[in-house]
Amino acid sequence: MDNIEQIIFPKWTIPINAANSIHEDYGIAIDAGRIVSVASKSELKARYLSDNVVELNEHAVIPGLVNAHTHAPMTLFRGLADDLPMQVWLNEHIWPAEAKWVDREFVRAGTNLACAEMIRGGTTCFNDMYFFPDIVAEQSEACGIRACIGMIVIEFPTVWAKNPDEYIQKGLDLRSSLEKSSLITTCFSPHAPYTVSDSTLTQIAELSSELDCRVHIHVHETAEEVERAVCETGFRPLERLHRLGLVNQRLIAVHMTQLKMDEIQGLAEHRVHVVHCPESNLKLSSGSCPSGELVNHGINLALGTDGASSNNDLDMLGEMRTASLFAKIVSKSAKSLDAYTTLRIATLNGAKALNLDDEIGSIEVGKSADLVALDLSHPATQPCYNPVSQIVYSASRDQVTDVWIAGKRLLHEGNLTTIDGQQSMAVAREWRDKIFLS
């Protein structure tokens, strides 16, 4: 018998595979942070020995959730400017607040709070776009969470950089510094077509091709954005990005609430990844991403929460439920975004969008042990006929009991192991007092 690092025995193992499998009374064997076997309980007990056996008799274990679009430090602006339309919220409240308050310590505190919230809710990987990405990367690594850090680019000066050349160079320097990290990767993150010029976007397209690096950008978020783009440039934003060489398999297009059928066909043809952020879009009244239609066209659809200042949480379980229900209304089909498809969107599809699907997103031999356990014995998820349905339609993030990233247990029976949650919240309250009383 082989001695290994640990074995997890849940009631249900949900691997996320083409067969939509749900395994009962299976186990997951882990060694050196990686999955070495997924098999029946009896088979694993006969083959392996471990000093760390975790029995989860009422739990389902799923791959770690991938939050494919965040602005993590903006947790400190949660609830600052609610119930406002997108452009008023952004131009009159968020950007002025950022100009006044955002610095390295703001970003550190906000990221720490976001990591605590995400880990407690079962998110093991997030894709971020914000200022001081070096601090976001540093804090994420300290917390033990996996992250794709955006090399943010915007045309005007901010606290992070004074011009596009400086944004790009600082991003590339960060990318180089993170080459040996096992948890942190990078992507280009131009903010949006309306805040980045043609020449800068062209430069990013060239670098993206040269480095084989993803490009993460807000696109077609609102009807107003599209209408203004047509007036100012003569093109819808997606068409402009296409002309500039950005519409390809490296593009991660976020929001996409304003799409015509020929645009959907083009996204499929060019293998673009789309990130759906339903709760943020609903709250800002931005529009509805045709998620069911995108899936039907074979487009890789991922899921994101957006920032906590427009959602107002980083709860991927809640996001899954909203995404599935929203898709059924938009498509006028109760079959749209069924439970297993929605769970795949929040796990493996997110990993694929970030070019991490060889590493995470499903429970397979050889992949990193990024896993989440949910206790389905709660009243809200009983009786349990189908654990995937219960996770998507009934479960809350309070039912997440344990989280592993690369085999390390970051949440142990509901307790964070790498973050001082009380201190994180105390620091957040200090920032609230400064911002509120200013």
Task: Choose which CATH entry (3.20.20.140, 2.40.110.10, 3.90.1300.10, 2.60.120.10) describes domain 65-353.
Answer: 3.20.20.140
Start-end ranges of CATH 3.20.20.140 in the chain?
A: 65-353
Rounded distance between C-alpha atoms, residue 182 and residue 146, angstroms: 8
Q: What is the pLDDT of residue 85?
A: 87
The answer on pLDDT for 175 being more than 80 is yes
DSSP state of 2: E
DSSP letters, 40-68, are: EHHHHHHHEE-S-EEEEEEEEEEEPEEEE
Q: What is the pLDDT of residue 396?
A: 98
Residue 185: closest CA among 195, 194, 175:
175
* Average confidence (pLDDT) over 229-251: 98
- In tens, the pLDDT along 75-96 reads 999 999 999 988 899 899 999 9
pLDDT-based confidence at residue 383 (cuts at 50, 70, 90): very high
Start-end ranges of CATH 2.30.40.10 in the chain?
A: 2-63+367-406
- In tens, the pLDDT along 326-367 reads 999 999 999 999 999 999 999 999 999 999 999 999 999 999
Element (H, E) at 216: strand 215-219
- In tens, the pLDDT along 192-214 reads 999 999 999 999 999 999 999 99
* Average confidence (pLDDT) over 70-75: 98
Residue 154: closest CA among 123, 193, 121:
193
- In tens, the pLDDT along 213-228 reads 999 999 999 999 999 9
CB burial of residue 42 (10 Å; 0-12, 13-18, 19+): exposed
The answer on pLDDT for 280 being more than 90 is yes
Contact 28, 61 (CB under 8 A): yes
pLDDT-based confidence at residue 321 (cuts at 50, 70, 90): very high
The answer on pLDDT for 313 being more than 90 is yes
DSSP letters, 260-326, are: -HHHHHHHHHTT-EEEE-HHHHHHTT-----HHHHHHTT-EEEE----TTTSS---HHHHHHHHHHH
Query: How many H helices and E strands in the chain?
Result: 17, 19
Task: Choose which CATH entry (2.40.30.10, 3.40.50.300, 2.30.40.10, 3.30.450.20) describes domain 2-63+367-406.
Answer: 2.30.40.10
Q: What is the pLDDT of residue 243?
A: 98
Question: What average pLDDT does the structure give for the chain?
Answer: 97
